[in-house]
Amino acid sequence: MTWPITDARIAPDAPVTTGLMHDMRDRVAYIEGISAGSDNSANIPPILNGSFELDTPGTTQPNGWTFSALNGGSGSVSNSDASHGTQCFRVTHPGGASTGGGVLTAQTIPVSVGQTFCLGFETYATNPNIRMKVDVGWYDYSGSLIGGSTFNVVDLNNGAYPSTWTPFRYNMFPIMTPSRATLMQIAITLGAVGTDPGASTNIYIDNVSISPRTRYSESISYLSPGTYNWTCPAGIYDVMVLAVGGGAQYVNGNNITNVCADACFSSQKVTPGKIYTVVVGVRGWARAPEGMVTGQATSFNGMSAGGAVFNGDRSSSNYDLRWLANQNSIYSTTGSPFGCGSVSGMIHIRY
C-alpha cells in the first residue's frame, strides 16, 4: 500500500492540494500504524494499522481492518481519545443481553510452523460489565481454516473491565503456530452478545500488536521449601524445568558434613490452563549421634530430584549440580547452589 508523492506534486510552483496533504498524512499514519508502539517496533510480521491512524478519507473505518457490527452495535475510528497516536477505535454496545458491539478482524499475517507470538493491545470501557474476546484463526496454504474453527486466546468477562486505558501485553497469552499453518488472523470482539452491560457502553481499543516470542523467554522460580500450584499459561505446551532436591547437613562436634542433592534438567509436556503441583524439598539436618539424615525430594509433573542422603559417608552427591545451577543463574544468597548441604531445594520453570 503506497501513496505516491512525485516530484511534480512537490515542485516549487505546484499547488498545495488537499490530496497531497492527505497522502503525506497517510504515509506517516501508515508507519505509525504498523509499528504499533515502540516496545513492539521489531514486530515481524506486523499488525497493519494497529494504532488505527490510517483511515480512508470520508469513512470511519480503519484501513487493514474489517468491522462487523453485532446486533444493535456500531463502531468507528475515534480521534477524541487515544492511547497511542491520535486515533483509536470505538465500539458502542447499546445495552441488553441480546445485543452487542462488534467484531474487528485484522488482515491475515504470514507465519511459519513453530513460530510463537505475543498479543498486545490497550483498552477501556465506560462500563465494567462488558465482555471482550480475541480469537485467532490459522489457515493453510489453500486458505482453509485449520480445524474448522478459531481458537480463543483472550476473554475478559469478569465485571471489572478497566475504566481507563490499560495495556494488556499478554505474555500470558502466547500464540503458537500449529502445523500446516501459513497464515494467522485475529478477530477482536468488543461487547459480546450475551453479556448485558446494563446501559449503552463505549469500548475503546488501541495499539494492537503481534510480536515474536522466544520460547522459554519467561520463567518462574520456587526457591523456598513447600507445596505450590502453578497454572500453565495459555498457549504453552512444553516447559524446561530445573529441579533440585533438598540438601543434607550432618553435624558432629565441630565437623560439618554437607551432601548435595540430586538435580534434574529436562523438557516437560504441559497443558495450557492445567494446574500443576510443585513440591520443593526441604533440607535435612541432624546432629551426632544420629546416624542418618535425608533431604526431601523436589518434584514437578512426574519428574523428581531426590533429596541428599547422609548415612556415614557422602552417598548422594551430585557433581553436576553446581554446573546446572550456574547455567540457570540460580544461587542462594551465600553463593552456594541450591540443594548443597545446608540449602533446601528449588524448582525453576522456563516457558
62 and 153 share a domain?
A: yes
Last residue within a domain, chosen from 212, 238, 260: 212
How deeply is 128 buried, as exposed, middle or buried, from its count of CB atoms within 10 A (0-12, 13-18, 19+)?
middle
CA-nearest of 11, 48, 4, 10 to 27 is 4
224 and 147 share a domain?
A: no
273 and 336 share a domain?
A: yes
184 and 253 share a domain?
A: no
128 is a domain residue: yes
> Residue 268 belongs to what domain range?
219-350
3-state secondary structure the chain: CCCCCCHHHHCCCCCCCHHHHHHHHHHHHHHHHHHCCHHHCCCCCCCCCCCCCCECCCCCCECCEEEEECCCCEEEEECCCCCCCCCEEEEEECCCCCCCCEEEEECCEECCCCCEEEEEEEEEECCCCCCEEEEEEEECCCCCEHHHCCEEEEEECCCCCCCCCEEEEEEEEEEECCCCCCEEEEEEEECCCCCCCCCCEEEEEEEEEEEECCCCCCEEEECCCEEEEEECCCCCCEEEEEEECCCEEEEECCEEEEEECCEEEEEEECCCCCEEEEEECCCEEEECCCCCEECCCEEECCEEECCCEECCCECCCCCCHHHHHHHCCCCCCCCCCCCECCCCCEEEEEC
If phi over 0 gives left and psi between -120 and 50 gives alpha, with beta otherwise, what is residue 339? left
148 is a domain residue: yes
174 and 257 share a domain?
A: no
Last residue within a domain, chosen from 163, 190, 212: 212
Cell of 44: 515481524
pLDDT in tens, 57-69: 677 789 889 999 9
Q: For position 34, what pLDDT does the model report?
A: 46
Q: For position 228, what pLDDT does the model report?
A: 97
Q: For position 189, what pLDDT does the model report?
A: 97
249 is a domain residue: yes
Q: Are 250 and 215 in contact (CB under 8 A)?
A: no
250 is a domain residue: yes
Give whole-number Cα distances, 10 to 13, 17, 95, 138, in Å.
Answer: 8, 10, 50, 44
27 is a domain residue: no
The pairs formed by 315-320 with CB atoms below 8 angstroms and a separation of 24 or more are 315/259, 316/248, 316/259, 316/260, 316/261, 316/262, 317/259, 317/260, 318/260, 318/261, 318/262, 318/263, 319/260, 320/263
- Domain holding 56: CATH number? 2.60.120.260
Q: For position 300, what pLDDT does the model report?
A: 96
203 is a domain residue: yes
Phi, psi of 18 (to 5 degrees): -60, -40
What one-letter code names the amino acid at 111?
V
79 and 182 share a domain?
A: yes
Integer Cα distance of 107 and 85 in angstroms: 20
Q: Give the number of other CB atoms < 10 A from CB of residue 233.
A: 18
Handedness of CA 44, 47, 49, 50 (dihedral sign): negative
Q: For position 171, what pLDDT does the model report?
A: 59
59 and 143 share a domain?
A: yes
4 is a domain residue: no
What one-letter code names the amino acid at 302?
G
The residue length of the chain stands at: 351
172 and 228 share a domain?
A: no
Q: Which residues does the chain have with pLDDT short of 50?
A: 1-2, 32-44, 314-337
315 is a domain residue: yes
Pairing of strands 275-280, 238-244: unpaired
State how many domains the chain has.
Answer: 2
Q: Are 182 and 311 in contact (CB under 8 A)?
A: no
152 and 238 share a domain?
A: no
Last residue within a domain, chosen from 165, 180, 212: 212
202 and 284 share a domain?
A: no
pLDDT in tens, 162-191: 999 998 877 555 677 888 889 999 999 999
77 and 58 share a domain?
A: yes
Q: For position 323, what pLDDT does the model report?
A: 37
152 and 261 share a domain?
A: no
